[in-house]
Amino acid sequence: MNTPILFAWLGMTDVKACRGELKGGLGPIGQAVKKRSYSYVVLLSNSDSKTESKYIEWLKELSSAEIIKYHIKLSGPTQFGEIYEAADASINKVKKKLKEKNLKFTFHLSPGTPAMASVWIILAKTIHPAELIESSIEEGVKTVDLPFDISADYLPHMVHTSDDEITKLTMGLPPEAPAFDEIIHRSKEMKRVVAKARRLAMHSVPILIQGESGTGKELLSR
């Protein structure tokens, strides 16, 4: 038997609903738990603790599902990388916490920012297969059907594009200098960096190399 789990970011519309500021509506999350049955509701939130606690109390009146809350610190609501890492980590925590094989994930696209919805789509179509839903006062709760597989349709194209970019970068370059042999690498990202460095080394111009400590900036500058 499957264990249905709803994942959602806590959005402003949801907060307004629990405060009674949303006329005739429960908010996206409230609608979802009212119309569909879930064993767990996993809330991702970058709101303050008081707002989170008040919302959870309100949500418990709508659903008997166990509520799991993860407070997420974001530098901004549209920081795609941070959102992706937070969502992925939260899903993995739930998997580890529940230790069940038949977990059925549902990701709610409506609450939060467009960046948050985009991350749910990517995760659902790649490393964390899940149902996608959206909700509105006008149309209620409905499953979102995306007739494509990102891992099959999109990622191979990206890999092919990366190969083409590296080939273009290395076209017309002189034989590789011995100094570049000291840079040991395998990834396409480093191949791209080395190709750019070889091209720039042909010119006598100042270059700013940025990167964290220990990433090889000094070696590359030689």
pLDDT tens readout for residues 11-45: 999 999 999 998 878 999 999 999 999 999 999 99
Tell me: do 132 and 167 sit in the same domain: no
Q: Whole-structure pTM over 0.75, yes or no? A: no
Query: How far is residue 152's CA from residue 79's CA, in Å, rounded to a whole number?
Result: 26
Query: How far is residue 27's CA from residue 52's CA, in Å, rounded to a whole number?
Result: 15
Region at 193 (left for phi over 0; alpha for psi -120 to 50; beta for the rest) = alpha
**How many Å separate Cα 53 from the centre of its chain?**
25
Nearest of 101, 102, 108 to residue 36 by alpha carbon: 108
Residue 161's pLDDT is what? 47
Residue 166's pLDDT is what? 43
What are 210's two structure tokens?
């940025």
Among 114, 143, 172, residue at a domain's last position: 143
Could you list the pLDDT tens digit for every one of the 222 residues in the chain?
789 999 999 999 999 999 999 887 899 999 999 999 999 999 999 999 999 999 999 999 999 999 999 999 999 888 999 999 999 999 999 999 998 779 999 999 999 999 999 999 999 988 899 999 999 888 899 999 876 665 555 555 444 544 455 454 445 545 455 555 556 666 667 777 767 776 666 556 566 667 777 666 676 666
Tell me: do 92 and 160 sit in the same domain: no
The two beta strands, 131-136 and 140-143, are antiparallel
Tell me: do 136 and 159 sit in the same domain: no
Among 109, 143, 177, residue at a domain's last position: 143
Structural domain that includes position 79? 3-143
Among 143, 161, 180, residue at a domain's last position: 143
Tell me: do 164 and 90 sit in the same domain: no
The count of domains in the chain is: 2
